[in-house]
A = this chain, B = another copy of it.
Amino acid sequence: MSTRERLIDATRELLWERGYSATSPRDILDRADVGQGSMYHHFSGKAALALAVIEGNRDAMISAGEDTLGGSGTAFERISGYLLRDRDALKGCKMGRLTEDSEVMENDALRQPVHETLLWYRERLTALLEEGQRDGEFRASFVPADVAAAIVATLQGGYVLAKADNSVAPYSAAIAGVLELLAAQRVDSGS
């Protein structure tokens, strides 16, 4: 693995674990086992390195999302597959956590890929819910864009609850809760 790749990987891990502000160049160099000069040879500084990482995360997350949400099965099956995907809830979302990092939110270049990722998920879920309503799978009694936002928010908020509780239990409960409510929207749900 190249020095550049080692820098990217170390930064990716640290941004996930501690965020941007709390990650120092020294932390990155120690974890990548690289000298001071190498980082400033490959990148103009900490912000440029972080930007490369965050843009890579955006691409990977959108790709993974399309694999799950654009797969086969009913809309409900695809959404529940997405929500129940195996995750380390105590680590949280590598994108979502950056929204609580002021330094990231105040830097338009860094905020942009975070924005694009979460927007993509809301839009993709909106399209899937609309499809479900059109096909008669779901009742027409909810607004797809609203429920899409609620689904993404439940995931993001589930991580918040897990971290506060130092336990995955409230994350799992939140996911289960939104699925129970969504299941009741299926026309064959018997309600």
Contact = CB atoms under 8 A, between A and B. Distances in A.
**A interface, over-half SS:** helix
A102 B17 contact: yes
13 contacts: A19-B101, A99-B160, A100-B101, A118-B161, A141-B184, A143-B173, A146-B174, A148-B173, A149-B161, A149-B176, A153-B174, A156-B160, A178-B178
Interface string A117-151: 11100100000000000000001011101111111
A21 interface: yes
Interface of A: 17-19, 21-22, 92, 95-97, 99-103, 105, 111, 114-115, 117-119, 122, 139, 141-143, 145-161, 163-166, 170-171, 173-178, 180-182, 184-185, 191
Contact of A160 (B157, B174, B177, B181): B157
Contacts of A122: 161, 170, 173
